[in-house]
Amino acid sequence: MSDRPEGPGQDGAEDGTAWSGRAGAQAFAAVDAETDWLLGYPFVFRALSRRIGTGQVLVDYGCGPGKVADQAARRLGARVLGVDTSPEMLALARGSATAVDGFHLVEDGRVTDLPDGCADAVMCNHVLASLPTREALLGVFSEIRRLVRPGALFVLLTTDPACSGTEYASLRIGDPGEVYGPGDELTVRLRRTDGSWQEMPNHAWPVGLLPALLERAGFRAASQHRPTVAEALTVADPDFAAGRPWSAERARPPLVITTASAA
């Protein structure tokens, strides 16, 4: 990584919360997320495609600027609803994610205007790293449990803080040699589409904690999968996956997908 990244608060968090405010929304919308489009989102879509079909309701919890929600709607044929705590993120998403059926603000931990049991599945991608405490994680999982019908699938995409310091194509989690415990602050660096790097303060959530927290929130049968580059060659866009060496991603894949069903 050659460019010196801009620090938190320069054009990222406005109030200390990752990606908040207009500047935070614009900063996240400018990242390219190549590592995620290799080892993350395609595997989220594959897990969802095994359980939901055309017209079923999929909530994207923490949808941000809506790119992933939009792709999910197009690829799965599902009726996708995007929800987020940030009105600025939702404004960006409304302007560009045209395949998404609707957007809802999360206020005081509750999604406005979505009734209990309305969703057939929920995906939640890269949201946990914004949350500072286990209670906050449990609050999000409990609200997601409220939204889904019994038996519904929940797919969670997270970075593994144990992969700290490795320089991936579009991502670095924390600093080299550091070991992060639950909730510890770390800095994530994300590459922008113009090749420069964005820094953002985040929180470390070791992936092994997640199944027990999901069970406490009313989910069962949690399982975890760490997608590899070899798998991505058949799951992600083949030209994209074959188009670069992905040396760091091959050596130490940094993304983990946790799936669980609503009890």
Residues that bind ligand SAM (CB under 6 A): 19, 28, 61-64, 68, 84-86, 89, 106, 125-127, 130, 140
The DSSP element (H or E) to which 79 belongs, if any, is strand 79-84
Minimum distance from CB of 44 to ligand SAM (Å)?
A: 9
Quick one: 71 or 251, whose CB is closer to ligand SAM? 71
- Specify the residue for token string 């579009």: 170
Q: Which is nearer to ligand SAM, 185 or 247 (CB)?
A: 185
Distance between CA 122 and CA 258 in Å, rounded?
12
Least separation in angstroms between CB 142 and ligand SAM: 11
- Distance in Å, CB of 166 to ligand SAM, minimum: 19
What is the closest distance, in whole angstroms, from the C-beta atom of residue 63 to ligand SAM in the complex?
Answer: 6
Short-list 124, 134, 70, CA closest to 102: 70
Q: Distance between CA 244 and CA 31 in Å, rounded? A: 18
Cβ neighbors of 70 (< 8 A, separation 6 or more) are 80, 96, 97, 98, 99, 100
When the beta carbons of 7 and 151 are compared against ligand SAM, the nearer one is 7
In whole angstroms, the minimum distance from the beta carbon of 8 to ligand SAM comes to 13
Distance CA 158, CA 131 (A): 12
Tokens of 198: 């964005």
CB 194 within 8 A of CB 245: no
Q: Which residue is nearest to ligand SAM (CB)?
A: 64
Nearer to ligand SAM, 63 or 232 (CB): 63
Closer residue to ligand SAM, CB minimum distance, 143 or 151: 143
DSSP state of 155: E
Give least dist CB 243 to ligand SAM, A.
21
* Nearer to ligand SAM (CB atom), residue 109 or residue 151: 109
- 3-class secondary-structure state, position 212: helix
Which residue, 217 or 230, is less far from ligand SAM as judged by CB? 217
Q: Which residues pair with 155 in a beta bridge?
A: 123, 259
Of 145 and 221, which CB lies nearer to ligand SAM in the complex structure?
145
Closest distance to ligand SAM from the beta carbon of 253 (Å): 17
Query: Residue 191 has which token pair?
Result: 């590459």
Residue 18 CB, nearest approach to ligand SAM (Å): 7
Q: How far is residue 63's CA from residue 89's CA, in Å, rounded to a whole number?
A: 8
Q: Is 249 left (phi over 0), alpha (psi -120 to 50) or beta?
A: alpha
